[in-house]
Structure formats: structure tokens, C-alpha cells
Amino acid sequence: MSYDLLLDHLKKTTALGQVSGLLGWDQETQMPSKGGVQRAEHMGALEGVLHARRSDPQVAEWIAAIDIDRLDTAGKTNVSEAEKAYKTATKVPADLAEALAKHAARSQGIWAKARAAGSVADFAPTLKEMINLKRQEAEARQEGNASRYDTLMDDYEPGMKTSEMAALLSDLRTGLVDLRGRIGDSGKAMPVLQGDFSKDKQMALAQALPAIFGYDWEAGRMDLAVHPFCSGNGGDVRLTTRVDEGNPFDCIYSTIHETGHGMYEQSIPNADSLEPAYSYASMGVHESQSRMMENQIGRSRAFAEHLFPMFKAHFGEIGVETADDFHKAVNNVRSSYIRTESDEVHYNLHIMMRFDIERALIEGELEVDDLEAAWNERFEADFGVAVDTPANGVLQDVHWSVGLFGYFPTYSLGNLYAGELFAKMQSDIGGLDGMISKADLAAPLEWLHRNVHDHGRMKAPGQLIEDAVGHKAGASALLGYLNAKFGEMYGV
């Protein structure tokens, strides 16, 4: 009886959380530009209701009365997730939770305008307040020896500690810097696309791609946003992308990336049930699905056999004549300002920079007044290029404006997980390249359903990957994949 009451409470709380998600999606895609102030009030009011439900003393009473040994795996997960949410909510004052929600809604619009204007000064006061609020939240929730940043990162990758993440990224960084150096020394130049890449043509091609990667259009839609994202789960999973008429790869690979997220959300069994057990495992696991679709599959030589003629059909002449040259153009390695447009060799270096900077911001080792200078200095040291405008620098990502501190490292963790999963998939599925070249992804998607999606949130993320591949995840699989791929392309 107590479990049934708790589950009903959890489902209604999840439903309200999904309403908040829809408001966030609307703000980024459809909301009138002057609606930001009202939307902040909407989000704050809804967060107040959610916080009250999560911290309701009745939740603790129900949990105490449940005989956990009589529940199945899903039931045990539902109870543990409810207990974790309750502990978090009771530590964070209601007024702080509401203030964070309202400020995130306001901050998003301020960031977008500051980015368009290239003005850090326009965004700095808003960012200062967000960091102040996130520090307060972290301090309210801290347990034991956990740092502020540990506490916030746990929201996205449960159980992960800063020290463990730093060690993983350090192993990856060593290999990436070595590979980048060898590529630079090769002196080889890759082909470059040229042609008419209008918005309408890009969107027509983008619309044709998600179904290839297992996305169900009857359970989703796609819109434009300043910063691409995926929202929703189960029968309502919404994608966004963006268009740069000078760079069609930005739109196409942003679309494939977000499709990977959407496919995962649509593939978890019973996702419509609103039970916590049937949610995604972690953001690292989430990113493994999007990064694998984007990179190991979408940027592969095999998939170029399918994507190249699609590009020709949508854009006409594009400046390259073969699938092989198209593949090289897709995978051109060069320093670039924008994380989401970067190649696979540089991408994780972008994440490592953000990981170090945002950790310093949260721990009080760096303040907003010094942020732009710190960013520009680190970027030039890591990438050998001076930042030309804040829109290409510290203002390029939406994450800090909405308080997503602790999220960035899950991108690199997702790459590590993707490397492990794809290596095992290649071992388990004979003729995988041939399937990918024909855009027949039924077998790899079934493998992912069985090994990742079907488990929902019922395994810890690290254990989920370890069970799927047979060992603890590390950097070697990803580095092996990158060295093989780019070693062949660049002769290094």
C-alpha cells in the first residue's frame, strides 16, 4: 500500500517535471522574445510546487513503511530515486529552488542577446548571480568530503567524483595531444566543401536523417534553436538543430547528435510510465548514444557511402567528387572556436577546458570578472588560436546561463563510453561496416536496446557500461578508435 501511494506521488511529480521541460522547450523554440519575464515566473511557480512534492514528509513515511525486499528491480529503483530526491529537496530551501528556476529562465534570454551582441559585460551580472545561487545549492547539499563541484556533478553522473573524472580526462588528454601533434606534423590538407547550402536545403536534408538512426517521427518533431538540444521522453521527444549557411556540417551533425539523444529517450521500455526506474541512466550514458550516432557511425567512412549521395541530391555540386573525399572533408582536423563544430580530436580538449574553468568558478578559485581573460588565455594555450569574439569564446555555450554546472564533463565521459560500446558492438556484430554503408542500423540499434536502453535507470551508469562491454570503462578504446581512423587519413 505504501509503495503504491509513493509510486502515484512519484508519477505525478514526474509529470509536473515534464511540464517544466515543455515550458523550457517552448522558451527556446516558440516563445515570443518578450515573454521571458513571464516565463521566469511560470518556471519559478512550478519549481515551488515540485520542490514541495519532493520534500513532502509523507514521502519519508511511505519509504520507511515499504518492505524493499518484496519489490522487483524497478520498484527498488523507484524507491531509491525517491529517497535521493527527498534528501536533496529537504536540504535545499524552497526559496532557493524557486530562485534558481526563475533565474535560469531569465538568464537564458539574457545570454542569447549577449551572445548575439558579443558582449560579456551584458551577461556578467546574470552569470554572477547564477554562480552565487549554484554555490548556495551545492553547500546546502554537500555530504562528507564531497566538494561543491562533486555535489553538482552528481546530478548528471551519479556517483562520479571530480578526482575520478579528472583522472579519466588526463589519460585521454595525453593521447589526444600526441595524436593532434602527429596530425599537425603530417602537413596533409583535407578537401573542403563548396556550394549552395541554403537554410531550406539544409533543413530538408536534416529532416531525412533522424529515421535512419532509429528516431520515431510519430513521437517527436524538430525545430530550430540557438543551441541545439533534445527534450522529452517516451512518446514526446523533441529535437532541435541550427543552420549556418556557410557550414552545412553544423546543422547535419547537430541533427544526428540530437537524434541520438532522442532515439535513446524513445527506446527505454515503459518510458511513458513516469516511473523513475524507466528514465535514462545518466548524462554520460545519454551522451554516449548521441556521440556514437554522430561520430563512430555518422562520421565513419562506411556512412559516407550513404550520406555523400544525399548531400549531392540536396545541394547539387559540393566541391568533392567521391565518398572518400567527402569522408575526409567531414573529418578535417583543425583548431576551431566552437565546441559543437569541432572535430573528434579537438572536441574533448574543449570539454577539458570547460571542466577546469567551471570547477574553478564553483569552488571560488575563479570569479566572473576574470572569466573572459582566463578563457581566452587557456583557449590560445590549448588550441593555438586567439579568440576573436566572445560569441566564439566564453559566450558560445548555453549551459552556464541555465545553471548546468557539472554537465560538461559528461560529454567526454559519453565519448569514452561510446568508444567502449562501439568497440564491443564491432566485435559482436559481423559485417557492421556494410550495414552502416547502407544506412541499415537495425542490428546496432537492437544491440544498444539490449545492452543499454532496456535497463533504464536500474543500473548505476558505470556498471551498465561495464556489463555491456565486459570491463570498466577507460580511455583506451576511444583512443584506439581515434588513432586508427585519423592515423589512416593523415598517414600518421
Which residues form the catalytic set? Answer: 258
Of the chain, the end-to-end C-alpha distance in Å amounts to 64
**Alpha helix segments (H runs only) across 323-408:** 323-330, 344-363, 371-383
CA 72 to chain centre: 30
Instruction: Assign 238 to helix, strand or coil.
Output: strand
**Cα 78 from Cα 72, distance rounded (Å):** 10
Q: Which three three-digit cell numbers place residue 226?
A: 540557438
CA 446 to chain centre: 22
**Cα 22 from Cα 18, distance rounded (Å):** 6
Which one, of 251, 289, 285, 283, lies nearest residue 408 by Cα? Answer: 283
Quick check: 249 and 242 in contact, CB under 8 A?
Answer: no
In our burial notation (b when 16+ CB lie closer than 10 A, e otherwise), range 398-428 reads bbbbbbbbbbbbbbbbbbbbbbbbbbbbeee
Q: % helix / strand / coil in the chain, to the nearest 5?
A: 70, 5, 25
The DSSP annotation for 189-200 comes to: ------S---HH
Strands (DSSP E) found in 261-417: none
**Alpha helix segments (H runs only) across 30-161:** 36-54, 57-65, 73-91, 94-117, 120-141, 148-153
Find all residues with CB under 8 Å of 138, minimum gap 6, and list them: 148, 149, 151, 152, 362
Counting beta carbons within 10 angstroms of the beta carbon of residue 182, is it exposed (0 to 12), middle (13 to 18) or buried (19 or more)? Answer: middle
Quick check: 108 and 40 in contact, CB under 8 A?
Answer: no
Which one, of 362, 359, 396, lies nearest residue 376 by Cα? Answer: 396
Find all residues with CB under 8 Å of 489, minimum gap 6, and list them: 188, 190, 328, 331
